[in-house]
Amino acid sequence: MNYEFFLAKRIIGNKSYKSSVSAPIIKIGIAAIAISTIVMLIAIATGIGLEHKIRDKAVAFNGHITITNFDSNVSEGAQVPISKSQEFYPEFKTVNGVSHVQAVATKFGIIRTTTDFEGLFLKGVGVDYDWRYFEAFLVEGQLPIYTQNYSNEVLISKYLANRLGFGVGDNFQMYFMKSDSSKPPSIMKYVVVGIFNSGFEDLDKTYVIGDINHVQRLNRWTKNQVGSFEVFISNYNDLERIGKEVYAQTPSTLDAMTVQQKYATIFEWIPVFTTNIYGIIGIMILVGAINMITALLVLILERTQMIGILKALGSTNYSIRKLFLYNASYLIACGLFWGNLIGIGILLLQKHFQFLKLDPSVYYVSVAPVYLDWSYVVLLNLMTFVLCLLMLLIPSFLISKIVPIKAMKFQ
């Protein structure tokens, strides 16, 4: 109808509300939707990003699943050797989803300088080691290259480099105690070829990455003996299933532990982010919807006289409600547009310039990580739009209570 089109244009058009009493309320409603969208985007992107970063860092040092001897006590530096002649090595063909298996060994030692010393583990790796994770952590130098021959090249963390004053190309000595305490310790000389920084301080200060040949020689093992196997999987979401299958497929003398089980305290803490994200989304949608409800009520009250005239002309409650909901949809869309523009802009700036720093001793990362996925951005916008619009159905019923005769006298 022409009069309905006229009303829609009058309500939605800029001239209709820019100079009206409802203008500030409408602007507040749009701003509330925009701010809510910004907060939700930042909460989701940083929450998921933080969860992924912590997870990836734990996996980088241990793999998704670690296979060890039941008698090993890695915390005390005592590993019981495992033969490399296993059905699951070098490929775990009996379990679907396993992408890589690598053999490693650790040996506790002490780095001593003229002014300081540090106790930590030398993690020995070999030619089968997957360096993908450490490539992202490398800040100086290069990754070591290990072959069947002995190599003195090691990779140390930025934490240790700063603490002990080491740089790329520096040499240091590491002392390894023998089982017979009456004998002098073994001394190995290493050269720093690369420095990494995972931001996971608990692990950065624990490990030096070196050649597995040295660990085997220090432990008087054969070339066919290792300390443990690290298993990597293709899809992290399948970790629990694959962990059980790996455990079932390994010999009875070996234990298979997932990274979640090994770092139970950390991974029990991570779900708090998910809970917080859901809480923030719920609160922000509620705040935005309440502001939009207020704006719609003010708009209806301001157009009471016009509603009465339309009813007198034969317009139904449904058609008039529809016009106001169209207007509300337009305002919600405006808020979402500006919220997405500003929110995604902030996230992209953080992703590239990393201006927001975090305390690694608390959050296990030094900067706030950002995870941007267009699927959750679209889903968030659709959910916000639909929920806000559904909540606006309640105040729109006020139109049916308006009596034409009283409305046309309304001032």
CA distance 179 to 354: 47
* Tokens representing residue 373 in the block: 């996925």
Q: Using DSSP bridges, classify how beta strands 117-125 and 171-176 pair: parallel, antiparallel or unpaired.
A: unpaired
Residue 1 near residue 318, CB atoms below 8 Å: no
Amino acid identity of 285? I
Please report how the helices 317-353 and 374-391 are oriented relative to each other, as an axis angle in degrees rounded to 10. 150
* Tokens representing residue 318 in the block: 């449904």
User: Residue 231: what pLDDT?
Assistant: 95
Q: Is the pLDDT of residue 349 over 50?
A: yes
CA distance 256 to 241: 12
CA distance 138 to 155: 9
Which one is predicted more confidently, 48 or 71?
48
Listed in sequence order, the residues at least 6 apart from 72 whose beta carbon sits closer than 8 Å to its beta carbon are: 78, 79, 80, 227, 228
What are the pLDDT digits (tens) for 3-22?
554 554 554 454 444 445 56
User: Bridge-partner residues for 78, per DSSP?
Assistant: 73
Residue 351 near residue 53, CB atoms below 8 Å: no
Q: Is the pLDDT of residue 128 over 60?
A: yes
Cis status of the peptide bond prior to 90, with omega within 30 of 0: yes
Which one is predicted more confidently, 82 or 322?
82
User: Residue 269: what pLDDT?
Assistant: 77
What are the pLDDT digits (tens) for 205-241?
889 999 999 999 988 899 999 999 999 999 998 999 9
DSSP codes of every residue in 54-120: HHHHHHHHH-SEEEEETT-BGGGTB---EES--TTSS--TTSTTEEEEEEEEEEEEEEE-SS-EEEE
User: Residue 402: what pLDDT?
Assistant: 63
CA distance 231 to 225: 17
Closest C-alpha to 107, from 248, 237, 251, 211: 211
What are the pLDDT digits (tens) for 166-210?
999 999 999 998 877 778 888 899 999 999 988 787 788 889 999
The predicted model scores a pTM of 0.78
CA distance 177 to 234: 39
* Tokens representing residue 112 in the block: 């001593």
User: Residue 15: what pLDDT?
Assistant: 43
User: Residue 355: what pLDDT?
Assistant: 86
Handedness of CA 145, 149, 155, 161 (dihedral sign): negative
Helix, coil or strand: residue 147: coil
Residue 233 near residue 99, CB atoms below 8 Å: yes
What are the pLDDT digits (tens) for 258-300?
999 988 888 887 777 778 888 888 888 888 888 888 877 777 7
Which one is predicted more confidently, 112 or 142?
142
Please report how the helices 317-353 and 271-302 are oriented relative to each other, as an axis angle in degrees rounded to 10. 140
* Tokens representing residue 135 in the block: 């490539």
Q: Is the pLDDT of residue 366 over 70?
A: yes
Burial of 181 (C-beta count, 10 Å sphere; 0-12/13-18/19+): exposed
Please give the distance of CA 222 from its chain centroid, rounded to a whole number: 41
* Strands of 212-306, DSSP E: 225-226, 228-233, 254-258
Amino acid identity of 5? F
CA distance 148 to 23: 76
CA distance 236 to 63: 11
Listed in sequence order, the residues at least 6 apart from 316 whose beta carbon sits closer than 8 Å to its beta carbon are: none
Q: Is the pLDDT of residue 135 over 90?
A: no
Q: Is the pLDDT of residue 152 over 70?
A: yes
User: Residue 14: what pLDDT?
Assistant: 45
| Phi, psi angle pair for 66, to nearest 5° | -110, 125
Residue entry with tokens 């298993």: 231
